[in-house]
Structure 1
Amino acid sequence: MSSARKANWSDLTVRIASAVVMAGLALGTNWLGGLSFVVFWLLAAIAVLCEWLFLIRAGAKDWPTVIAASAFLILATAMAHEGHGISSLLIVAGGAIVLGAVAIARPRPQPLLTAAALPYAACVVLPVTSLRQDEPHGMLAIFVLFAIVWGSDIMAYFTGRTLGGPKLCPSISPKKTWSGFIGGVVFGAAAAGLVAGSFAVVLVGALLAAVSQGGDLLESALKRRFDAKDASHLIPGHGGAMDRLDGFVAAALAALLIGLVHAGMHPASGFVAW
């Protein structure tokens, strides 16, 4: 085996160990539901928020902005947990405007990207909160979402590393290949169908698997703009919370929108019950 191929797989053990811990926490809190689920995803959202704000300021720790943004995020999450979805969205929108305006006077001003940090982090916690609370399909909806994103991510990684081939978007992410993209979509769709027990969800799963990989590319574009390999070093073998949740953010938001369009105020049912 060549040294390049050995290097490709050298971080696999660390990646697997970290993934097992994260998956265990995600699965366990989904099973428990309630406040433990919301707190778990809120903490993940705050981590993403910090990484985004630190990244766009070249690692500078602008704590006043972080604290203000976190306060908006916590308040929005509390509103969503209590079933006040519109109020939650208004808090996120208002907070984004305030952060963008204040950022103009901060070091290394990035007003638009500072404003965008709050909606992006909110997409980590608010869609899954809305889906999980929609009984009787809330728990299943989150398990299906995990199956799509994890299945897509795992198979995109292994298929791309094994088969190689033409690059998907070399200007943004030089390592991603079309073979990895296709493998991820196919496996994500199959995993969704197996967990949900519905052929219709297979089709939805294929769409969300593609969306998930698009979310990965979006975060890669942001990191490339600021010349960063990882959003942080929070998770061994995976980089930061943003690096681990980039595809999940996009897929969760898409799942919520599909559920709302299909079933109105019962998004989990609209997502998995066809």
Structure 2
Amino acid sequence: MSQELRLRIYSAVVMIVVVVAATWLGGYAFRFLAAAMGLLIYYEWSTITRLAEKSLRADAFGWLSLALIALNLLFGSDDLTVPLFGGLVVTTLIPPLLRRGSWWQPAGVFYAGLSAISLSAIRGEDSLGFIAMLFVFLVVWATDILAYFVGRAIGGPKLAPRISPGKTWSGAIGGTLAGVAAGVLLASAHFQDIGLWVVMIAFILSVAGQIGDLFESFIKRRFGVKDSSRLIPGHGGVMDRVDGLVFACFAAFFLALAVSAGGDRVVVSMGAFLFGL
């Protein structure tokens, strides 16, 4: 076994242990993990897009925005989360609208901030949140792993050759089927009766995860970087590891907001929403 492969395995084991432990504990442990992830994602986004070089003041406000979001997740009120996040994103939009800043600035605050918020919202504070977070993890991980192996085994037409030349339609379809199967199996293990809702949610999260993967590939290709950073030994950066996960969380978060806004049902918790309870 090569030293590089050994390093990748050790790093992966540590990451899995930390993430699963924080997910199991919930509360401040998971909120801290979500907040730290948001801050690290913004660090990588800022570095990739060279925001500090374009406007040190704007980048400083971006850091302040992420710090406020992180502090609210840890010590603030859940009722304040969406208004605070929306206000910060709108504020960062003002300079680009006035042609005095980069659009990558509000995009970074939105991407990193929502990553932390949506992760924290899905985990929530109850035991159902733990199952819901595992559900999202398994859907995304199964999609990612099977998309790779099915794509390598079958090949065929490329999914998005200009963005990520290695991805194929066969891999995308195989990954989606695997993600849905993983989600349904987990839900079936914990609930006696699951319906088409869980299948639909797993499908949406799987597709969203693959879009997230392509999105990060587009960002890196746009700015000519191979990895988002070198924060994780043998694995690159945080964005490299959670690109699909955060987009799946975005999809779940916005679906829950849309359902609540529609007035058809009240979303008591993200866990209840994902499993149609």
Give the TM bin, normalised by the shorter chain. Answer: 0.7 to 0.9
Indicate conservation of the 8 Å contact 1:49/1:117, yes or no: yes
**Cα-Cα RMSD:** 2.9
Between stretches 14-23 and 121-130, larger displacement belongs to 14-23
Deviations 1:216-262 (A, max 9, x none): 11111111211222211222343211111111111011122334426
Deviations 1:56-103 (A, max 9, x none): 128959776555323322322443456744532333233334445568
Normalising by structure 2, report the TM-score.
Answer: 0.83
Instruction: Return the letter of the residue paired with 1:142.
Output: M
Which residue of 264, 267, 272 corresponds with 2:267? 264
Q: Residue 28 and residue 158 in structure 1: after superposition, are their counterparts in 2 closer, same or farther (change >3 A)?
A: same
Task: Work out the CA distance in 1 between the residues paired with 2:205 and 2:11.
Answer: 24
Identity over aligned pairs, percent: 35
Indicate conservation of the 8 Å contact 1:215/1:249, yes or no: yes
Q: Which residue of 2 aligns with 1:57?
A: 50
Gaps of 5+ in 1: 1-9
Task: Work out the CA distance in 1 between the residues paired with 2:45 and 2:236.
Answer: 13
Indicate conservation of the 8 Å contact 1:56/1:110, yes or no: no
Normalising by structure 1, report the TM-score.
Answer: 0.84
Residue 105 of structure 2 is aligned to residue 114 of structure 1: yes
Residue 79 of structure 2 is aligned to residue 76 of structure 1: no
Deviations 1:203-228 (A, max 9, x none): 32122101100111111111121122
Instruction: Give the total of aligned pairs.
Output: 263
Counterpart mapping for 1:162-241 below 5 A: 162-197=153-188, 198-200=194-196, 201-241=198-238
Indicate conservation of the 8 Å contact 1:80/1:126, yes or no: yes
Q: Which residue of 2 aligns with 1:124?
A: 115
SS of the counterpart of 1:168?
Answer: strand
Q: Residue 214 and residue 235 in structure 1: after superposition, are their counterparts in 2 closer, same or farther (change >3 A)?
A: same
SS of the counterpart of 1:119?
Answer: helix
Q: Residue 187 and residue 15 in structure 1: after superposition, are their counterparts in 2 closer, same or farther (change >3 A)?
A: farther
Task: Work out the CA distance in 1 between the residues paired with 2:230 and 2:20.
Answer: 23
Task: Work out the CA distance in 1 between the residues paired with 2:180 and 2:5.
Answer: 24
Deviation, structure 1 residue 11: 6.9
Task: Work out the CA distance in 1 between the residues paired with 2:56 and 2:21.
Answer: 32
Gaps of 5+ in 2: 189-193, 260-264
Q: Which residue of 2 aligns with 1:248?
A: 245
Deviations 1:140-191 (A, max 9, x none): 1101011111111111122222322211010111111111111110111111
Q: Residue 162 and residue 237 in structure 1: after superposition, are their counterparts in 2 closer, same or farther (change >3 A)?
A: farther
Deviations 1:1-23 (A, max 9, x none): xxxxxxxxx97655444332222
Indicate conservation of the 8 Å contact 1:208/1:255, yes or no: yes
